[in-house]
Chain A
């Protein structure tokens, strides 16, 4: 079945460091890909998404490119801030049959940014 694998955390960085969180997927057809962020004690918020191959999603300095050839959707940010400390989830949404719209999540990566 469809699945998402993302790098294990926790990840600890200093402020202004470069961030990469790896995400790869296995899916039938052409899923949509998402990054969601969960701040402590809160629900999930969409960070960015891409709905077809080679699309780049971007928001708040974060970017991710939908790479079908490598089945990847890695999250990057050039300079992290303390306020970016959160848990980041990579997810896919299948585009076929009864599973359409069913978000399948990776296990989450906890990011801590130190001043």
Chain B
């Protein structure tokens, strides 16, 4: 049973399109996250949701919007895709938002914008 799953695994699209990435966790965790990994492997947090409330929103363009229909799901919608959005996007979850909690990562979604 996959703890944190993401769909799709690969996403290739044209500039200007709108796309979504879905994330689900079956660990019963309260907190979920989205991270972006660029071509140099650098990871940076984008969003965090705790019990469906947004608690972190780093300096991410408002073309990116997270949506959490329930505690087990955190989806990422991206409008008007740009070349610079090409990256691997990772979803993660943790029991709570405490600093001591381990985050469990999904397998990633590789987004390529042409």
**Complex contact A44–B90 (CB within 8 A):** yes
In this assembly, does A14 line the interface, its C-beta being within 8 Å of a C-beta of chain B? no
A61 contacts across to B, CB distance below 8 A: none
In this assembly, does A43 line the interface, its C-beta being within 8 Å of a C-beta of chain B? yes
Residues of A in contact, count (CB < 8 Å) = 28
**Complex contact B40–A107 (CB within 8 A):** yes
A94 contacts across to B, CB distance below 8 A: 99
In this assembly, does B114 line the interface, its C-beta being within 8 Å of a C-beta of chain A? no
Interface string of A79-102 (1 = CB under 8 A from B): 000000001010001110011111
Which 9 interchain pairs have the tightest Cβ spacing? A101-B97, A95-B99, A93-B99, A43-B105, A44-B105, A105-B43, A51-B100, A43-B107, A32-B99
Complex: A100 Cα to B35 Cα, angstroms? 15
Known A-B contacts: A89-B43, A95-B99. Give 17 more (CB < 8 A).
Answer: A32-B100, A38-B41, A43-B90, A43-B106, A44-B43, A44-B92, A45-B105, A93-B99, A95-B100, A98-B56, A99-B56, A100-B98, A101-B31, A102-B45, A102-B56, A103-B103, A105-B42
The interface of chain A, by Cβ under 8 A from chain B, is 31-32, 34, 36, 38, 42-46, 49, 51, 87, 89, 93-95, 98-105, 107-108, 110
